[in-house]
Structure 1
Amino acid sequence: MSDIEVAKDSFAEMLDSLVRGDPNEFLHLLSAYDVPLRLQDSMATVRTHFVSVDANGQPAIDLLATAMARAAMDFCIPRSRIEQALKHLQETGSTSQFSRLEQQARELFVDGDGTGEGGELLLFLLMEQVLQLPQLLAKMSLKTNNNVHVHGSDGVHAKLGEDGVLDLYWGESKLYKSSSDAFTDCFDSIGPFLGADGDTRRRDLLLVRENLNVQQDELAAHLLQYFDETNSKALQVRWNGVCLIGFDYAAYPDMTKLADAQEIEIAKAVKRWQTSIRARLEKNVLLEVNIDVFCVPFPDVDAMRKAVRKKLGVA
């Protein structure tokens, strides 16, 4: 193996090591429906999950909201500040810096109903812990007003491919009562980041370059080459997407106890959702873009949103 190949593998491993969290801590709260499906004549893969049901027959919304709220610091706070808090803990034995970061992370969330930021937390967990894609930009840390949403995509994550290409993944989450509205708005929103016209994407790339959420100097220097238009590595970047789409679904199922009639009805619904997703992808000229879509029906999106806000301590 050549020195170039060794270096490439080393950087890939260093980037992979930035993935945070343990999927065993929250994935049991989302029951997968069947296996991931690659949509016909597209590069999109759809994963459908339902909220797991507890022994009392109730969807585990409270537990899921707790898991989402616990991801707030990882989602919002740059690794450099977390490293500083860890160093302070090691030197003083005090967790005060971590408590301060936790409070700051929660205060970054919009103080108002209707926010999509609860969805952003779940999207972050799915990107990191299911797809194993580490965050390159802690976008929430750039907020200057907790009453204003972060503009642009909901996250930028990355992976170094075996071919040396840097795969960048733009995230977008939408939690609406209507599945049709959620599908439409999600792909309308992520489309500009993944299309041939790079103006919208370029603004996010500038943010990534100026606020790269990577601690290792050697890895950071390697990654920054991909964001330098004067460097040949700028040609070795692929655009990808990850979407979380949540919406209301009546007669919520327990996936471990499906009656035949209910199983047939859910299969029909999942097929409709997949068909709708493909139609929106085609409309936004995204069939040839690699996109992972997490389709998550909820008993009540508004109740889910309020549960997350309560766990975050947002008024």
Structure 2
Amino acid sequence: MKPDEENLAKALEALLNPSNVDDFVRCAATHEFDLDALPPISLLHPRFNEDVPKVTDLAEFLWRQCFFYALPRRKQKKFKDAMDADITMVMDVNRRIQSAFMEYSTKNPARSSEIGEVIAYVLVQHLLKAPQVAAKMALKTSGNMPVHGLDGIHATFEAGAMTIYFLEAKLSYAANAGAKAYAASAKEFLADRKQYLREFEIVSDLGNLDALTGADREAALDYFDVIGQPGLQRRERYVGVICYTERKIYADRIPVGSAPITAHEEYFSGRLRSKMERFRKSARKHIAAAGGDPAKCLVFFLAVPDVNQLRRDFYSAMGMAPPPDLPVDEDGDDDDDEEEVATSTEETA
């Protein structure tokens, strides 16, 4: 690696935000790039407290991460300085971040799915070591409107080229349905050249690369100038982060007894790993059907007992708790050979 390339790699790495993901999420199976096993996938789940998955703890962690996810780095610094000078500014910062999120919709809970984007941000930072290069939440003119286009843009510099990760996040009643929705969204994005170029403009004009300085900043910006710098090498990868309701494995519990306190988490993690090839086959099928290249896709599956409950816990952590008597989603069979239709209150979002 040339000296300037090494500096650029280190500069981008410095944009990674602090995050103790391992305390709240366990990776049961980690992605590996293998031409005989595409796409690369990871299977994840919340940590356990003995036999209880720590879903509420995960939701609260995700809300705390919104300081980094929702705010551009310039505002992060501004608010950090303000809180250092006056600790009561914490309340104002909390309100500012809260206002960027859509209100919880009791009639259509799937509309309130921005937690999926936060999950995607956290996991891509953690698993791919790729910082967010554009805080798209900051582009919203109304908190009650979704962010248009991609759910996230991250990047890292390695092997002499910039790798750009385009993120699509899905909350789903089943893993297969989530994989299908991800593939459809990726296809829609790739078919829209205007939106594709707009995403690069967002990074160049409004992104977090402003936090870099001097030659590193100019070099990074060049990689996002696809019109003006067509000769630069860029890898583009399409990351699907699917948080889904996993009823069957959570229902298959071992008795509480004298076994090591980690036995329940280990048992669940092992059962989830047994689904790895099934999930890979499902993702590959949907990516291929959408005309995508499995070698350019990475898919992360986060298994939770109920995505509706995770959504409610997130809004409670935010201070925007929805009513407790909301309807829950119907059971969805995650059979790779069956076509699933989202007819419940929990549509894939």
TM-score (norm 2): 0.78
Provide the residue aligned with 1:186 in structure 2.
182
| 2:65 paired with 1:71 | yes
The alignment partner of 1:19 has SS state of: coil
Partner of 1:161: 158
1:300 — aligned with what?
306
Counterpart Cα distance in 2 of 1:242 and 1:304: 21
Taking the aligned partners of 1:162 and 1:110, their CA distance within structure 2 comes to 39
Question: Could you say which residue in structure 2 is the equivalent of 1:47?
Answer: 42
Aligned partners of 1:172, 1:269: CA distance in 2, in Å? 22
- What is the CA distance between 1:12 and its match in structure 2? 1.3
Distance 1:62 1:98 in 2: 22
State the AA in 2 paired with 1:11: L
Tell me: CA distance 1:311–1:242, structure 2 relative to 1, closer, same or farther (3 Å): same
* Residues in 2 aligned to 1:260 and 1:64: alpha-carbon distance in whole angstroms: 18
TM-superposed deviation, 1:121? 1.1
Q: Is 1:213 aligned to 2:204, yes or no? A: no
What is the match of residue 343 of structure 2? none
CA contact (8 A) 1:41 1:287 kept: no
Q: Does 1:108 align with 2:100?
A: yes
Post-superposition offset of 1:229: 4.4
Q: Which residue of 2 aligns with 1:287?
A: 293
CA distance in 2, matches of 1:291, 1:34: 17
Q: What amino acid is the match of 1:123? A: A
* Residue 176 of structure 1 pairs with residue 172 of structure 2: yes
Q: Give 1:259-298 correspondences, 5 Å limit.
A: 266=272, 268-298=274-304
Which residue, 57, 76, 83 being the options, matches 1:82? 76
How many equivalent pairs are there? 305
Deviations 1:246-271 (A, max 9, x none): 21112416794369998886455333
Give the 3-state SS of the residue equivalent to 1:294 in structure 2: strand
State the shift of 1:70 in Å.
0.4
| 1:94 match | 86
Unaligned runs of 5+ in 1: none
Aligned match of 1:314: 320
Q: How much has 1:68 moved relative to structure 2? A: 0.4
Cα 1:62/1:231, change in 2 over 3 Å: same
Change (3 A) 1:196 1:237: farther
Flag structure 2 segments of 5+ consecutive residues without an equivalent: 255-261, 322-349
1:107–1:314 CA contact under 8 A, matched in 2:
no
Q: For the residues of structure 2 that align with 1:42 and 1:268, how far apart are their CA atoms?
A: 15
What letter matches 1:221 in structure 2? Answer: E
Is the Cα contact below 8 Å between 1:239 and 1:289 reproduced in 2? no
Q: Are the counterparts in 2 of residues 184 and 280 from structure 1 also a CA contact under 8 Å?
A: yes
Cα displacement string for residues 11-32 of structure 1 (whole angstroms, at most 9, x for unaligned residues): 111111110113xx23232222
The alignment partner of 2:31 has SS state of strand
Whole-angstrom distance in 2 between the partners of 1:295 and 1:76? 23
Contact 1:110/1:146 (<8 A) preserved: yes
Q: How does 1:220-235 map to 2 (within 5 A)?
A: 220-229=217-226, 231-232=228-229, 235=232
Higher mean alpha-carbon deviation, 290-299 vs 264-273, is at 264-273
Deviations 1:43-72 (A, max 9, x none): 5310101222212x2110011011101011
Over the residues paired in the alignment, what is the CA RMSD in angstroms?
A: 2.8
Counterpart of 1:241 in 2: which secondary structure? strand
CA distance in 2: counterparts of 1:126 and 1:199, whole angstroms: 28
2:126 to 129, 135, 138: 129
| Aligned CA distance change for structure 1 residues 89 and 260 (closer, same or farther; 3 Å) | closer
Distance 2:175 2:40 in 1: 18
Tell me the TM-score normalized by structure 1.
0.86
CA separation of 1:221 and 1:100: change in aligned 2, threshold 3 A: farther
Say whether 1:18 aligns with 2:15. yes
